[in-house]
Structure 1
């Protein structure tokens, strides 16, 4: 099982996505060009409206198109949500002047109460540590050990 990276940051005309749309919560149809996509593979797809967040989709089935050559349509499963809001927050390290400007996604249906836990999860993904109201950058965590 291979992982195929179709994020915007890796623009390559021979290996691109032309569409990614939700068929139902947790099921997606992805149309792309290039790459040897097979059932069971993982696709990394940039979230619309985000500069660095992506969805990780598991390919269930792939259909290769005759025209244009190299194009395919895949059905994949991934995160279940109704509507995502992409939020941008900033945190400062409490031990040094480092700042983290980050994006995170949260399901709109969960409301404001879901924002802080989603932000905490994203901060952890980026290597920062949050204990109570204190934040530590990776460098300060390393120095503390």
Structure 2
């Protein structure tokens, strides 16, 4: 099965996401242009209210529209975002002092410790490495690994 990237950061005019809306918890209706979407494919969209937080959706059914040509509508399964919110924090590298803003999902009822754990998980996905209470950016992490 193929993976199709429809995030806002992947500005590709032949691959356009027109609409992604929640039909029920964990069920989405997606309308797009191009890409040759098939059942079982994964669509990577952006979480509503986020700049770059990925929302992976698995396509269930696809219906290609006659007009306009190349446009399709699909139902897809994904995470239930009810009760979740997008938080934006920033992190700085303790080696080169580079700072990076990042976003992550947290439940509204999460306390600071739970939110911090989710933030650490997200920065790990972005390539940052924790070193005790400090953090290393992807470039410094790579340099530190190659020195060992």
The TM-score normalised by the length of structure 1 is 0.86
Unmatched segments (≥5 aa) in structure 2? none
Instruction: Determine the C-alpha separation between the residues in 2 that align with 1:143 and 1:69.
Output: 49
User: Paired residue for 1:34?
Assistant: 34
The range that moved more, 121-130 or 74-83, is 74-83
Instruction: Determine the C-alpha separation between the residues in 2 that align with 1:92 and 1:13.
Output: 34
- Any residues of structure 2 matched to 1:24-63 within 5 Å, and which? 24-63=24-63
Q: Provide, for residues 78-131 of structure 1, a one-character-per-residue CA deviation record: whole Å limited to 9, x for no partner.
A: 112214322221122223322222122223244545311210111101111124
Instruction: Determine the C-alpha separation between the residues in 2 that align with 1:106 and 1:94.
Output: 25
Instruction: Determine the C-alpha separation between the residues in 1 that align with 2:65 and 2:109.
Output: 37
Q: Provide, for residues 18-48 of structure 1, a one-character-per-residue CA deviation record: whole Å limited to 9, x for no partner.
A: 1101112211110111111000101011122
- Residue 38 (structure 2) pairs with residue 19 (structure 1): no
- How many residues get paired? 145
Q: Provide, for residues 46-77 of structure 1, a one-character-per-residue CA deviation record: whole Å limited to 9, x for no partner.
A: 12222211211111111112222221111111
Corresponding residue SS for 1:56:
strand
Unmatched segments (≥5 aa) in structure 1? none
The range that moved more, 133-142 or 34-43, is 133-142
Instruction: Determine the C-alpha separation between the residues in 1 that align with 2:74 and 2:50.
Output: 23
The TM-score normalised by the length of structure 2 is 0.85
- Residue 143 (structure 2) pairs with residue 140 (structure 1): no
The Cα shift of 1:142 comes to: 3.1
- Residue 114 (structure 2) pairs with residue 102 (structure 1): no
Instruction: Determine the C-alpha separation between the residues in 2 that align with 1:26 and 1:110.
Output: 20
User: Paired residue for 1:127?
Assistant: 127
Instruction: Determine the C-alpha separation between the residues in 2 that align with 1:42 and 1:84.
Output: 22
User: Paired residue for 1:91?
Assistant: 91
